Amino acid sequence: MRCIFVSREGFPESMYKKLEEAGRVEVYRHGGSPWSTRGVPKSVLIEAARRCEALVIFIGDVVDREVLDAGAALKIVSTASVGVDHIDVEYARKRGVVVAHTPYVLVDAVADLAVGLLLAVARRIALGDRLIRSGAAEAVWGSLMGVDLRWKRAGIVGLGSIGSAIARRLTAFGVEVVYWSRRRKPEAEFSLGISYVELDELLATSDFVIVTMALTPETRRFFNRERFQRMKRGAYFVNVARGGLVDTEALVEALETGVLAGAALDVFDVEPLPAGHRLASMDNVVLTPHIGSAAVETRRRMAELAAENVVSFFKTGRAIYSV
């Protein structure tokens, strides 16, 4: 019977039961939340690749060349995430290993969080909460000033399904939405009532810049010092995509010098964010620990779809969603 390795215990039981339709399931005792981005040791993944025909993983579990080279019988790597930057996809293709992921199911959860983060930083909701809890709110009671969303311009960088869902939500707030993407999308422009602009114009004119683009070798540190300097002074920056898209030192500089009025981040170039990091001491920054898809219903469906990808592959030769 074929071996299917799952890198975490604690995923929804429906996931493991589904995988049993395709083979014998081996579960690594991760020792924490199954949704933690603290990855499985590489040695564990190498040993699993040697024994098993399928790996079911989460972000943080790095499947690189060394792991793939160990997998003489490995046929599919299925990740319970939409992003696949923790997998060497090109090398997997060369070795004939299918990479599957779980797009679409997390769109609404991530879009909800993006708008929540924008509201939290623009209206200073998180700061107000901290001040009350620390007993320091009396001096600013009733006078903690933020900015309206209505009549502002939001620029979305990377218009995929998540970016489109964010645009749909923001237009309901009376926000003008523009976007830049490597490929223009006229159908989305028509259906959402948004406009395409070149990247430099988006940065220079947007009150809110929201990042939803994929992390690739070409987009790593896409938001560097030069691009932050091109942004409209006093703008807000929101990242719900991947931390590696941002040069963190350049972001800190833009916040400290007033180029940006604030930032809201769910992802970081190093996760977890190191204790005592400068971002954590800034009153104009809202931070969440990579929880874009962390809604109970969404994560359950992600786990089930990761399993369905494996079962479909072994039954039909095709995963439902391969990269």
**Which are the catalytic amino acids?**
242, 271, 290
| Alpha-carbon gap, residue 54 to 284, rounded angstroms | 44
Structure tokens at 81: 């995430």
Residue 52, judged by CB atoms within 10 A of its CB (0-12, 13-18, 19+), counts as: buried
CA-angle at 181, arms to 180 and 185, nearest 5°: 100
Instruction: Supply the DSSP symbol for 26.
Output: E
The burial of 144, by beta-carbon neighbours within 10 Å (0-12 exposed, 13-18 middle, 19 or more buried), is given as middle
Q: Is 183 helix (H, G, I), strand (E, B) or coil?
A: coil
Bridge-partner residues for 100, per DSSP?
Answer: 78, 322
Phi/psi for 236 (5° steps) reads -115, 145
Q: How far apart are CA 221 and CA 239, in angstroms?
A: 12
How far apart are alpha carbons 8 and 32 in whole angstroms? Answer: 8
Torsion of CA 46, 49, 55, 60, to 10 degrees: 10
